[in-house]
Amino acid sequence: MNTIKQNFKPWFAVLSACFILLSCSDRFDDREGQLNADDLDYSDTDNMIQALVGAYNIIATRGWEEPLLLSVRGDDVNAGGLGDQQPFTDTDNFIYDQNYWMYNSLWNVHYGDIVNLNTEIELINNFKDLATPEDAQTADQYIAEITVLRAWLHFNLARVFQDVFIIETTQPDGEIANGVATKDEVMQYIITQMDAAIPLLPNLRPNERTDIPGGVTRFTAMAIKAMAQLELQDYTGVASTTGEIINSGKFSLYDDFYGLFKKPGELSNESLFELQFSDFGNSTGDSFYHLLAPFGPQGWTPARENASGGWGFYEPSLKFIKFMLDRGETTRLESSVLFTDRGIAELQTDPNYATLPSFVSNTTRDGDVINDYARALFASGKHYLPSVQLTEGRNDYGGGKNMIVIRYAEILLMYAEAVTRGGTPNGISADQAVNLIRTRANMPTVTGVTSEDVMEEKFAELALEWGIRYYDMIRLDNYTELSYDGRTFTADDEYLPYPQAQVDALPLGGTNSNQ
């Protein structure tokens, strides 16, 4: 009896230990430090806009290599000299390497963002399920905006890789199994998507929006639709869609061509789609930048001290500069090219260009001096922000400068091209459209413009922007223009090969047309 009493306490301790262990069980389902998507309060539609804002974050966070790779192959621009990133230079020379990381990155980041945009649509749909009819309408508008952003990514992919997947879900296994769509199917898909989105979107110029300043409007959707129609060479369609934008009367060209690509030209009345970056005028703290250094000159003496230079990866071609000089271009050439002394000397080796206009100088209008550097002769003026426009205390090259994706000038020229190729004019004439452009550029007006005239005008106006020139040339099978400076372009150079990593992972049949 005593023994039992003696031993009672330890036994009790053992039993209570086990009991306490069991009673802790409910803690095992908690996940501390994590916010689940399901835990958002979807009944609070005031928060719905956060998902849309997330979508604008996704579209604006482009890798530095994406704009470069999208546009390097045109006859307007070179990769800069050999050295760092040699396969990038090879790409400029139409020698493609399936293993080059930039190809894979363009594919991955574009598709990854398409899926990310789809998750934002899912989030908005969750709100919509619990929303009032009025809020549901807002939800539809937001989803339409995201659809436009998503269309632009699909558009880029099809332009670069030709036949690509159309992805509308967050779990794309089924869409992958269905295989790739042809480039034409992708363009047709974009047109259908844009047609559905247009009525849901605000009838405003992007800079008129107050909820999302610079956000997508129905004119952005129309512009992307017109670009897809242009790829399909549906000139009637292009004329009609761009005509609608023109006839809205909402858009006008920004007076100062040079300033359009600088701080003052941000979110102008010319802008239909613009990626926005800023340090919000603060010398420290958070900034939201795109890395513009690859576009910049490797060596410079900035007017504002300590401003950083660039990498010299994006060099306007001699062909383009000579073309501009031949035309007697002034503001457009000055705004498009940063000259080095070495570059000027190289130009002057050609006796036709022995004397050059005074603006061809290694000192920019804003006093930045572009020094000679090994990699390239020239740098892009359209991606250049004068150092004096940098926020005090900020040194990144082009820090906080926006990137205009689609501007009214392109719409006017698409319209003019479509009309000269047989599209029905539904407003102004092709001459009028081209002359609007030329007048702003201080060029004499012309009459009786032909398709060739329009293409030259596009070259002069839109050079260095998003590969517009390159995609025009391959659309028109104009390989002669692309065979410049010792390059030879053939039909099988039009599209980049699928990245090897994607061939390994996806049912791409191992080849696209270029392998």
Partner 1 sequence: MNLTRSILLFLLFSYPIILFGQDNLTITGTVIDDKGLPLPGASIVLKNGTTGTQTDFDGNYTLANIPNNSTLVYSYIGFSPKEITVDGNTTIDVTLLPDTQNLDEVVVVGYGTQKKADLTGSIVSVSTEEIEKTISANPVQSLQGKVAGVQIVSPGTPGASPTVRIRGLGTFSNATSLLYVVDGMFYSNIDFLNPNDIKSMNILKDASSSAIYGVRAANGVIIIETKSGSKNRKPQIEYNGYTGIQRAQNVLKMANAEQFTTMALESGSSADAQFILNAMQRYGRSRVNPNIPDVNTDWYDEIMRDGIIQNHSLSVTGGTENVSYSTGINYFTQEGLLDMKNKYERFNIRSKLDVDVTDNLKIGVNTVFSNATQYAPENSAWFKAYFAVPILPVFDAQNTEATPNSYANARALGYRGTQNPFPDMAYNENRLKIRKLLANFYAETDLIPEKLTFKTTYNLDFSALEERYVNLPYNMGFGDERRSSINRQQNNFFNQIWDNTLTYTDKIGEDHNITLLAGASYRDEEANRFGATGSDIAGIDYETSWYLNFADPLTFNNNVNESNSRIYGQSYFGRLSYNFKDRYLVYGTFRADRSSKFTQEQWGYFPSVGLGWVVSQEPFLQESNFLDFFKLRASWGRLGNDNVPASSGANTITNTTVDLGDTPVTGVTATSTFTDLTWEVVEELDFGFNLTTLNSRLSLDADYYIRDTENAIMPVYIPIANVTVNRNSGVIRNSGIEVAASWSDNINEDFSYSIGANITTVKNETISLEDERGYIDSGSAEFRQRTLVGEPLYAFYGYQTTGVYQNQAEIDNDPVAQNVIAEGQNIEPGYFKYRDANGDGFINDEDRMVLGSFLPKFTYGGNIGLNYKQFGFTMDFYGQTGNKILNRKRGEVIFTNDTNMDADLAINRWHGEGTSNSYPSSAGLRNSWNQRLSNFWVEDGDFFRIQNVQLSYTLKGDQLKGKFPDFKFTLTAERPLTLFSYNGFNPEVSDGVDRQTYPVPAIYTFGVNVKL
- Residue 338 sits at φ, ψ, to 5 deg, of -100, 125
Nearer to partner 1, 385 or 449 (CB): 385
Lookup: tokens for 158: 């099809």
Instruction: State the minimum distance, in angstroms, from the CB of residue 332 to partner 1.
Output: 27
Nearer to partner 1, 171 or 355 (CB): 171
Lookup: tokens for 418: 């479509």
Instruction: State the minimum distance, in angstroms, from the CB of residue 467 to partner 1.
Output: 21
Mapping DSSP to helix (H, G, I), strand (E, B) and coil, where does residue 228 land? helix
Nearer to partner 1, 285 or 444 (CB): 285
> Which H/E stretch holds residue 125?
helix 101-129
Task: Determine the Cα–Cα distance for residues 403 and 35; give it in Å rounded to an integer.
Answer: 33
Lookup: tokens for 448: 């009786």
* Close Cβ partners of 123 (under 8 Å, ≥ 6 residues apart): 37, 40, 51, 54
Task: Determine the Cα–Cα distance for residues 251 and 245; give it in Å rounded to an integer.
Answer: 8
Q: Specify whether the CB–CB gap between 189 and 155 falls below 8 A.
A: no
Task: Determine the Cα–Cα distance for residues 75 and 484; give it in Å rounded to an integer.
Answer: 7
Nearer to partner 1, 106 or 360 (CB): 106
Lookup: tokens for 197: 């989105």
Instruction: State the minimum distance, in angstroms, from the CB of residue 401 to partner 1.
Output: 11
Nearer to partner 1, 149 or 325 (CB): 149
Task: Determine the Cα–Cα distance for residues 93 and 86; give it in Å rounded to an integer.
Answer: 11
Nearest to 206 by CA among 218, 198, 217, 221: 217
Nearer to partner 1, 35 or 354 (CB): 35
Nearer to partner 1, 115 or 136 (CB): 115
Instruction: State the minimum distance, in angstroms, from the CB of residue 118 to partner 1.
Output: 7
Nearer to partner 1, 247 or 306 (CB): 306
Instruction: State the minimum distance, in angstroms, from the CB of residue 423 to partner 1.
Output: 35
**CB hemisphere CA count around 69 (13 angstroms):** 29
Instruction: State the minimum distance, in angstroms, from the CB of residue 12 to partner 1.
Output: 11
Name the one residue in this structure whose structure tokens are 């926006």. Answer: 402
Nearer to partner 1, 271 or 420 (CB): 271
Q: What is 156-170 written as a DSSP string?
A: HHHHHHSSB----SS
Instruction: State the minimum distance, in angstroms, from the CB of residue 98 to partner 1.
Output: 7
Task: Determine the Cα–Cα distance for residues 209 and 211; give it in Å rounded to an integer.
Answer: 6
Nearer to partner 1, 27 or 354 (CB): 27
Q: Is 343 exposed, middle or buried (0-12, 13-18, 19+ CB in 10 A)?
A: buried
Task: Determine the Cα–Cα distance for residues 231 and 238; give it in Å rounded to an integer.
Answer: 10
Nearer to partner 1, 126 or 380 (CB): 126
Instruction: State the minimum distance, in angstroms, from the CB of residue 391 to partner 1.
Output: 11
Instruction: State the minimum distance, in angstroms, from the CB of residue 461 to partner 1.
Output: 26
Task: Determine the Cα–Cα distance for residues 309 and 166; give it in Å rounded to an integer.
Answer: 39
Lookup: tokens for 245: 């934008």
Q: How far is CA 71 from CA 92, 382, 403, in A?
A: 9, 13, 14
Instruction: State the minimum distance, in angstroms, from the CB of residue 500 to partner 1.
Output: 6
Task: Determine the Cα–Cα distance for residues 439 and 254; give it in Å rounded to an integer.
Answer: 11
Per-position b or e across 65-100, b if 16+ CB within 10 A of its CB: bbbbbbbbbbbbbbbbbeeebebbbebbbbebbbeb
Instruction: State the minimum distance, in angstroms, from the CB of residue 54 to partner 1.
Output: 4
Instruction: State the minimum distance, in angstroms, from the CB of residue 25 to partner 1.
Output: 7
Nearest to 456 by CA among 403, 420, 494, 499: 420
Task: Determine the Cα–Cα distance for residues 247 and 235; give it in Å rounded to an integer.
Answer: 17
**For residue 444, how far is the Cα from the chain centroid?**
32
Instruction: State the minimum distance, in angstroms, from the CB of residue 176 to partner 1.
Output: 6
